[in-house]
A and B are shown apart, each in its own frame.
Chain A
Amino acid sequence: MMVDFAKSPQLPLGIALREVASFKNFIAGQNGEAVAWLRRAIGGADERIFFLWGESGAGKSHLLQAVCREITALSEPAAYLPLAQLPEVSPTMLNGMDALGAVCVDDVETVAGNAAWEEALFHLFNRIRDNNKMLVVAGRSAPAQLPLRLADLRSRLGWGAVCQIKALDDDGKMQAMQQRARGRGLELPDDVAAFLLRHYRRDTGNLFALLDRLDETSLIAQRRLTIPFVKTIIDQ
């Protein structure tokens, strides 16, 4: 049977282009100080324990993963532990982590109230501090507001550098979307980016997910991103 390639839609490759979270592709917005602080720590500064907090989509996970990437580029192992995405994992996952160059714990509120996890995090903190390694913990609220049961853990999390990570403003979000699109060889014109910001939920997580969908659809349909085309996809 002959296949008419001209008529069949082009299927995207099985391997999607992975978005690597690095400091280079992090648009800092109002978070310049936190970024500078983390980079100094990677470079060996004394301040090595951090707590980043802020709303979802503000860029915390990106920063944590960027830290891991930079540390491994220095030939030191590092771990990123997104607790919300590791529901099957027990606190023994933290064993031995204090020997790594950096440990980055995300979504810490997920285990708040869980005695075994709280104690394991407390011990991890102590060991990392004793070993002078780097620890970055991220959560939705500042340590004082986390529903933790173990006061020792709360006080330690508030001991390091506590930074609020603030979401980008609309200009920053537009820049972030366009940068992400460029990384995929996709052109996202200003008017289309502005259209997305006007018609869609504006947290970067959702915007990026939408961009992924647009990327895939435009590749299959072999069409550039225009407002009418984007509208049809959103309406679907």
Chain B
Amino acid sequence: MVPLPLFLPFAELEVGQHLYWHVGGFQIHGQVFLSSWLVIGALLALVVAGTRNLGRDPRGVQNLLEFIWAYLRDLAREQIGEKAYRDWLPFIGTLFLFIFVSNWGGALVPWKLIHLPSGELGAPTADINTTIALALLVSLAYFYAGLSRKGFRYFEYYVEPTPIMLPFKIVEDFTKPLSLSFRLFGNILADELVVAVLAFLVPLVVPLPAMFLGLFTSAIQALIFATLAAYYIGEAVHEEQH
């Protein structure tokens, strides 16, 4: 770990430094835990506020929630297909909302005002452990989707269209979570680093375009993660038309 020589209080880079908590025999990155729970709390508060007084004409928060729901339903239906998308809409929706709010929360909330003994608060998705956990969940989900829908006929997918594809399909099962997790982690960390380096060089105005670009890519990355998760599940439950 190389401590970078950046001393401005609002442009400090602390990659690879964590607030360690010891739980049982495990080391836990405390700052990621704190910010994930803040994200989960914010999402819960939003949903509870939006569903307390349900009206026939949606307005305010309820309107926003219905818009998000319709958007996610279209996404899941497009990738998974008419038959199975209802079972997987909650999973896809949760992934999208958690990643989206994490990314934007990391970029928009001035976490620097909260001082931790070590490490810093930020987007939970800028930590590789979070993204690998999410990606492995997606792996489990598509195996479960395929096995529960088709039983052992699911493994026919590995030898279609020819058995020559078998090794590639097996390798694909490992590269899917790898690329999912690295894509999200790299993009979010890269956004934070670009903003931090620019803010170190020129503290005023100049980092703003990079921040807007960061918000844009964060949203796109959340969309990509959810789309790919839905696509993998759709691939697993897809029935060949004979």
Q: Do A and B come from one complex?
A: no
B residues bordering A, Cβ < 8 Å? Answer: none
